[in-house]
Amino acid sequence: MSIKTKASIAALVGALALAGAACGDSTSSTSKASGPAQGTAAGDKVTAIPSLSGAGTSVKIDAGTAEALKSLGVALAPIGSATFDGPTSTITFPITSGYAEIHSDPAAKPGYIQGSIAHKGSGFSLSAGATKVELSDFVVDPGNSMLYGTVGGAPKVPLLTLDGTNVKVGTDGAGNVVLDGTVAKLTDTAAGALNKAFNVTALKAGIPLGTVHLVAKGTPTTYDAVADKTARISRLDGNATNVTLDAGTAKALQSLGVSVAPTGSATFDGATSTVSFPITGGFAAIHSDLGYKPGYIAGTVLHEASGLKFSKGDTSITVSDFVVDPGNSVLTASSGGKSGIPLLSLDGTAVKVSMEGSNVVLQGTVAKLTGPGAAALNATFGVTAFTEGLPLGVVRLVAASSAS
């Protein structure tokens, strides 16, 4: 998404600063902070890793907690693409998307390690007899020291606090960034839900699930946080990305007998031909340096548990769990059990920035089918009408930050 004028950049940086002003300071496990931080210390160098594509987040299960679960008759097992190594009692969740940045200033707010890291399609189950609880699609928010997940179809449930008091940051032989030593502990929400599910009282907030080993794969870049005045929203928590369907494309779909309908928590306004996808998480960084690569609007915007269904007769394809990568101007989706499918390219040539209360509004980006997106639709419906660059519609993104 590109914005062509310096005035627009100044407006957006100012808007994000205003949006973050409502968040006060709290104590983070990685540093003191919370909320979107605008000020940085002199000499703060930031290593940013956009478009994370792996490798994974591993948790070595705490021996005491494992024994306690066993005494309660509760078994833990991986689900989806998660794997479990019995000899080391370690469960691993592949990283599917995200953005991370590491500040040299340990007092950076809300934490010197910031971003949003998603693990779509994996998780673990806890079961005892006929009772089974599945926790999946984890999103790590390192800045605010929290891991969110999907439970019973509901996303962004706070499951684990992340105590990074003893975290160590380094690299491995492959050049990946490694974070080792964070302790994941049950939140009050998670402990209460599990006690209720298994009819026990033994699970308490603060019980350690295990020690985290996170390996982030991507292409890092480094910039001076002072020279590049960067505004950040450390955790996106609403409102929605809205797409007003292109009239010409809608007519073409109708002529092909293909209908489009919202799925999950997505909604459709027939009067305006607009479909809305709730924002469930993410991170945004807006750089004052227009030449910042891959794009001066960086981060990741998550839309879990919503999507679109394209149908023709008994044939259909559902695309969901959209992830917007503004730096690389692409929207990826999940479909048929696969995540990270590049579905739409995002042309922000005419985007405009404004404020609605404390929310930042980006209006005017045009979402267009990618080559893989067009090919998937053609293959599904046995046509050749879908082409790369076909406009799906105009995007209006309303971003709010989570109060902290």
For residue 9, the model assigns a pLDDT of 46
Token representation of residue 62: 């705490």
Helices (H) and strands (E) in the chain, counts: 5, 27
Q: How far is 70 from 46, CA to CA, in rounded Å? A: 43
Token representation of residue 55: 């490798």
Are the C-beta atoms of residues 205 and 188 closer than 8 Å to each other? Answer: yes
For the chain, state the CA radius of gyration.
21
Q: How far is 103 from 325, CA to CA, in rounded Å? A: 21
For residue 6, the model assigns a pLDDT of 42
CB contact burial 219-256 (16+ within 10 A = b; e otherwise): ebeebebbebbbbbbbbbbebbbbbbbbeebeeebeee
Token representation of residue 300: 């990741």
Give the pTM: 0.89
Which parts of the chain sit beneath pLDDT 70?
1-42, 402-404
Scanning the structure block, which residue is given the tokens 């990305």? 241
Is 196 strand, coil or helix? helix
Residue 42, φ and ψ in degrees, nearest 5: -60, 135
Are the C-beta atoms of residues 333 and 345 closer than 8 Å to each other? Answer: no
Q: Beta 315-325 vs 259-264: how paired, if at all?
A: unpaired
DSSP state of 11: H
* Cα distances (Å, whole numbers) of residue 75 to 70, 92, 207, 209, 268: 7, 17, 16, 13, 41
DSSP states of 47-76 as a string?
EEE-S--EEEEEEEE-HHHHHHHHHTT-EE
For residue 42, the model assigns a pLDDT of 63
DSSP states of 20-48 as a string?
HTT----B-SSSB--S------TT-EEEE
Residues shown for the chain: 404
SS (H, E, C) 138-163: EEEECCCCEEEEEECCEEEEEEEEEE
Domain parsing of the chain, residue ranges: 6-18+229-401, 47-222
